Amino acid sequence: MAFSLKKWVDNALNLSFKLIFDEDIDLIEKYLKELNAANQATNARIDNVVLNSGGDSFNEVVDARTSVNGQIYDTLESRLNGDSTNVASNFEHTEERLDTLETATAELEQKLKELYGEATQNWSIFVSKSKGNDDTGDGTIEAPYQTIQKAANGIPKIVNGVDIEIICEPDDYDEDVIIESISGARHIYLRSSNSTTVDAKVQDTGFYIRSVTFSSISAQCVLEGMTQSASIPQKDSIVNFLRVDYATIGNCRFDKNLKSTDKITVKYDQTKGGTFGNCYISNQNVILKAVYNSTCNFSILNKMISESNIGLYAQRSIIYSDYEATDILAKTATVENSGGKIW
């Protein structure tokens, strides 16, 4: 009655995994039933010898020495020992299979936790470059993570109507952060812990990020309290909203000179809507670019100081500007390309 279970060869939680899992369960149940039947057959034969035999029946004696698979032993003792050995071996194999099944179940539980998480209410994740630890931290205020990316990676991919915020202690986070593939949240916030007390239009917030991308998120994404890092990212933009429902950026400071680069300060890419407002802007290359059917607003609450190269750039997208073109502090105030419009 030897058998082998199929292994889970990849990490995909798909129909193929379900079929393999169900087939393994059916095989174990069948195997246990066969073992139980063998035990019952053995007990019945022993009862027949002990209780029914008159002591002089040759057939009953032979029957007592015959195993469940038809093998005739020389003595009853050797037959019983053989059956016991077979049963013990079969149970050992069953335990091995059950261990394999337990391991597979644990892996499944871990994958489900990574996918769905435990976020059933609003959740704050804390980050501190100086005090945090990505290995021992758990994202609480008492045990923060050290990097923003670690915090972002810990957000469940599927939640139900909650707000999730990453709160960072002011520091220089030399990271290209990617927050991606989240469904079901109301808001996803990335903010500095002093974002409600420091006015970025007046002073540096002390919370530096090289770049941040919000990608494939069905929620409102909000960035607050960030100051542009002195490090120039390899990515094409400082802030990128890629395929998100709604994107808001506020109380941020963009004051490092990018006029000699090809970088975009804030980019809306395939994003349904959003507002860029209440920020300090100086000496940028392209202040705001919207591409591929994005829609966004450039708020009158922004504070532009030194001239940038290009103000607003709409490519196959719509930008609603609270400014007249003549009031946008840029060498080229507006660019409309491939059907893009600025209103």
Rounded Cα–Cα distance for residues 275 and 246 (Å): 8
Res 116: pLDDT: 58
Res 336 pLDDT > 90: yes
Q: 36-45, 117-126, 145-154, 267-276: lowest mean pLDDT where?
A: 36-45
Residue 273: closest CA among 250, 243, 251: 243
**122 band by pLDDT with thresholds 50, 70 and 90:** very high
Across the range 150-167, mean pLDDT stands at: 94
Cβ(211)–Cβ(233) below 8 Å: yes
Tell me if the pTM is above 0.85: no
Mean pLDDT along residues 218-229:
97
